[in-house]
Amino acid sequence: MGHNVWSHINTVQEANRQYTNLDQVPKTLVDERFERLYVREVVDKVFSDVGNADAIVDKHFSILQGIAGSARGYTGKKEVNATTFFGKLFE
């Protein structure tokens, strides 16, 4: 087990190093439709301008939906759908 835990931690740290240096960036974390925009730039904008965070998220909604998540089986573009909005629309 120790070997597996070490391998996992080492792999995650190496992936973070490569992403920080922009050596290798997963396609889901880059939007290249008009200009190259990295997800981390959007996240930095959200945290640097908390007052306008909702507007920033709305503006970059499509790139954020491309990120796979783990919210009870809903991932990426499936994250926003009728099931996830039901509680907001009905009491």
Domain boundaries, the chain: 26-89
**Residues 40, 16: contact at Cβ < 8 Å?**
no
Q: What average pLDDT score do residues 58-62 get?
A: 82
Between CA 83 and CA 59 the distance in angstroms is 23
The model carries a pTM of 0.54
Band the pLDDT of 90: cuts 50, 70, 90: confident
What pLDDT shows up at residue 51?
A: 92
